[in-house]
Amino acid sequence: MDKAKQTQLMDAEHLRRAVTRIAHEICERNQGAGDLVLIGIIQRGDILAQRIAEQIGKIENNRPTVGALDITFHRDDTHRRSEWQHNQRASHLPFKLDGKRVVLVDDVLYTGRTVRAALDELNDYGRPQLIQLAVMVDRGHRELPIHADFVGKNVPTSRREAVKVFLKEHGDAEDAILLVTPGSQFEER
């Protein structure tokens, strides 16, 4: 069987630059870091939220608090829920959301269903002043009326392709984002 074709969309340096740019855009749109919190969607969004918060801290001398959100039980694709439950980590939001400016962070925006599940989960933690969305890759194909406010890279894809994000903090060998075209398998890095 043929291996899947992999095309590198971002290497470690491009990813670092995207994080820095997104941090600057967040500061500009929110007029600083006051009342700002970042919440990463668990698996890789939480890691990216930490990286963005670190950059905001360097820019503003005020690092926003960061939380992590597990959306497992709010997903609408229940036929796949059991495969995620073994990787489940509890949400960790060490702050009140009431009146805060929230930046929800994820690695890839695709159909919008993950973001919808995250918004449902956030309702359990209070009522923020506003919620914005930051993603590393927006690949299109929305099934819900959701858009990202901050995007590292827009990548038009087919529905058959996949975008894979590799981050050192997640145990991957290196930071990279790959576009994987169909084949029998894609190689783990």
Count other C-beta atoms under 10 Å from residue 29's C-beta.
Answer: 12
**pLDDT in the model for residue 124:** 87
The CA distance from 98 to 123, in Å, is: 10
In three state form, how does the secondary structure of 57-71 look? HHHHCCCCEEEEECC
pLDDT digits (tens, 9 = 90+) for 116-165: 999 999 988 999 999 999 999 999 999 999 999 999 999 999 999 999 99
DSSP class of residue 92 equals B
Helix and strand numbers, DSSP H then E, in the chain = 4, 8
**pLDDT in the model for residue 19:** 98
pLDDT digits (tens, 9 = 90+) for 21-68: 999 999 999 999 999 999 999 999 999 999 999 999 999 999 999 999
CB-side neighbour CA atoms (13 Å) of 44: 21
- pLDDT-derived band of residue 94, with 50, 70 and 90 as boundaries? confident
**pLDDT in the model for residue 4:** 86
Taking CA 30 as the corner, what is the angle to CA 25 and CA 33, rounded to the nearest 5 degrees? Answer: 95
Of 2.40.160.100, 3.40.50.2020, 3.40.50.720, 3.40.50.12780, which CATH number belongs to 14-156?
3.40.50.2020
The answer to whether 43 touches 170, Cβ cutoff 8 Å, is: yes
**pLDDT in the model for residue 74:** 77
pTM of this prediction? 0.90
The CA distance from 112 to 119, in Å, is: 11
Least confident among 64-78, 150-164, 167-181:
64-78
Q: Where are the domains of the chain?
A: 14-156
* 150-154 vs 162-166, strand pairing mode: unpaired
CB-side neighbour CA atoms (13 Å) of 171: 2
